[in-house]
Structure 1
Amino acid sequence: MVIKRLGWMVLAAALLTAACGDDGPARDPEGNITDTGAASVFSFRTGDCFDDPASDAAEVEELSAVPCSQPHDNEIYHTFDMPDGEFPGTEAIFDVAYEECLGDVFTGYVGITFEESELDVFPVTPTETSWGAGDRTVYCAVFNLDLSKITGSVRGTAR
């Protein structure tokens, strides 16, 4: 399977201030995104859907949050934190991220193994700049292999 490795996905904004304040998307009482709109990259959670950014910037501070019931490009299916310490390097972070994102968490969320799936994944990872500001979170996101829009959540779909 092809892995979506767009430059903008090696993200997680350079400014920790982007993580402060209420820059999250509008949500219903269950926590589901209710309105399409720009939201801080730090405000996304497992189960959230979003569109690809308009630019190919190496670092992105905001993404377009989309209710999963509407057509969207990506869905976050898992998040985890890298261990503290010195920045291990982009390649090392990607190695850890892909190992985590392609394992049991994919199967548990989608309902079949990555190898059986018609979906593909990419990790949204800390950059060296954001790491220096304390960012350790990796977001595992899923998208259609043919890059078509997804409508609805992929959770439990066995796609």
Structure 2
Amino acid sequence: MAQLDPPGQSALAPYPSAPPGDERSPYQPYPHYQHDPPVTPAPGVNGFAVASLVLGVIGGVLLSVIFGVVALVQMRTRPYRGKGLAIAGLVLSGVWALGLAVLIVVAIASGAERDPSGEVTDGGSVSARQLRPGDCVNDLEESNNVLSLPAVPCAQPHEGEVFAAFALSGREWPGEGHVLEKADQGCQDRFESYAPRADFDSFELFVLYPTQRAWTRGDHDVTCIAIDPAGKSIGSLRG
């Protein structure tokens, strides 16, 4: 015969209770792990923006503007960083353009004026490559890179007078010594035809001739200037 449990008792053994003073629950829950959301990589820096800034620093105005505009257009539709770089490149390009415009205005304002025949009528700066026979100039100092000279009317005091300008032949750089020799000889050969009544030996010769770097760029021009060793003179060698 089956045996019945006494009233108030269960057939299953009771879960042991916690000892007095222990507030922990006898039921231990499973540990819960919280999964972090996937990390989205940070957007990269736009290459055109970087290029715009670099070119803006070194003065590549046209490319800097183009790259800066391209970068700003791309960043409207793509998650790129670098908007500040593109804007900085555009700003620097504007500064370069403004500075160039100022230099052009200053050069025009300070340049010598010529009459229809080409004679200097009002003193000012003249590019070394634009000097012509008959121009009277000042500030003749030995230099490896003469870019311009102050020209004045020959009726005003001047240090030297341009009496010839010609180009040397040849494609390959012949060496500085050879260039200077040909330049000197060419100047001497042309002096008499410019000033037949002047004595070449009574003047010093100041020659503008191309450097190797200028020669490779296609500049083979020579400019001959006669200097009076006694000091500044007034009037032209041609009388």
What TM-score, normalized by structure 1, do the two folds share?
0.73
Q: Give the aligned partner of residue 206 of structure 2.
A: 122
Task: Indicate if the aligned counterparts of 2:198 and 2:237 stay in contact, CA closer than 8 A.
Answer: no
Q: Work out whether 1:110 is the aligned partner of 2:208.
A: no
Letter in 1 for 2:133: T
- C-alpha distance in 2, partners of 1:39/1:123? 16
- C-alpha distance in 2, partners of 1:125/1:88? 13
2:218 match: secondary structure: coil
1:29 match: secondary structure: coil
Matches within 5 A, 1:7-156: 25-53=112-140, 57-103=143-189, 105-112=190-197, 114=199, 117-146=201-230, 148-155=231-238
Q: Which has the higher helix share?
A: 2
**How far did residue 91 of structure 1 move?**
0.9
Aligned length: 132
2:161 match: secondary structure: strand
- C-alpha distance in 2, partners of 1:139/1:27? 19
Q: Give the aligned partner of residue 7 of structure 2.
A: none
Per-residue CA deviation, residues 52-84 of structure 1 (Å, 9 max, x unaligned), is 25x654202111111111111111111111113
Q: Which has the higher contact order (CA 8 A, sep 6+)?
A: 1
**How far did residue 113 of structure 1 move?**
6.8
- Shift of the 57–99 alpha-carbon distance from structure 1 to 2, 3 Å rule, reads closer
Letter in 2 for 1:79: A
- Shift of the 127–64 alpha-carbon distance from structure 1 to 2, 3 Å rule, reads same
Task: Indicate if the aligned counterparts of 1:106 and 1:114 stay in contact, CA closer than 8 A.
Answer: no
- C-alpha distance in 2, partners of 1:57/1:137? 16
1:42 match: secondary structure: helix
- C-alpha distance in 2, partners of 1:57/1:29? 32
- C-alpha distance in 1, partners of 2:177/2:202? 26
- C-alpha distance in 1, partners of 2:131/2:174? 24
Q: Which stretches of structure 1, 4 residues or more, deviate above 3 A after TM superposition?
A: 21-24, 112-115
Structure 1: runs of 5 or more not aligned: 1-20
- C-alpha distance in 1, partners of 2:164/2:204? 14
**How far did residue 118 of structure 1 move?**
2.1
What TM-score, normalized by structure 2, do the two folds share?
0.50
Task: Indicate if the aligned counterparts of 1:25 and 1:43 stay in contact, CA closer than 8 A.
Answer: no
1:34 match: secondary structure: strand
Q: Give the aligned partner of residue 13 of structure 1.
A: none
**Percent of aligned pairs with the same residue?**
33
